[in-house]
Amino acid sequence: MGKVIEDWVTHFWGKVSVKGPDDCWEWQASQNGTGYGKFAINRKNVYAHRMAYQLTYGNIPSNLIVCHSCDNRACCNPRHLWLGTYKDNMRDCVSKGRLHNGLLGVGLKLTSEQVREIRKLYKAGLSNYLELSTMFKVHKATIGKIVRYEIWKGVK
């Protein structure tokens, strides 16, 4: 039995792009429609970030969820994961400017790769906030927050 558990744990971490201790460790396999990683154990899908948390810290109380400090749904770095209530997660969302008029902000439509590209283009002076917002179909305020690392902090 121990070998079977060891094998799926190894299999799980093999699907994570482990980088530096403060970087996002992105899930490299199947994702659901909103960008969360999926991992199957005994034919049951579990969220990859929840599994990463459990493997590192232990069980998740039934009244809590696993939240991302980096706002990267594909991230499995245990250092970026924290436990909170849905209310805590919504407060975090609002504090980071990802909630607008009661709806999740457009910034969630971006991928980590797009965020890196936005920062790269801006830093190189090839595009301004307005041009980038048109190119990536997000509000220019979102571009500003990305460039200033106010959101997507864990994506370098």
Whether residues 34 and 18 fall in one domain: yes
Whether residues 111 and 87 fall in one domain: no
pLDDT of the residue at 23: 95
Structural domain tally of the chain?
A: 2
Q: pLDDT in tens for each of the 156 residues of the chain?
A: 445 556 889 999 999 999 999 999 999 999 988 889 999 888 888 999 999 999 999 999 999 999 999 989 999 999 999 999 988 888 887 777 665 444 444 445 787 888 889 999 999 888 899 899 888 888 888 899 999 988 888 788
pLDDT of the residue at 56: 97
**pLDDT digits 0-9 by tens, 48-76:** 999 999 999 999 999 999 999 998 999 99
Axis-axis angle for helices 2-13, 48-57 (nearest 10): 120
CATH number at residue 14: 3.90.75
Whether residues 75 and 9 fall in one domain: yes
pLDDT of the residue at 106: 42
Burial 103-134 (b: 16+ CB within 10 A, else e): eebbbbebebebbebbbebbeeeebebeebbe
Whether residues 91 and 107 fall in one domain: no
pLDDT of the residue at 26: 96
By residue range, what is the domain housing residue 58?
1-95
Whether residues 8 and 61 fall in one domain: yes
Amino acid of residue 68: H
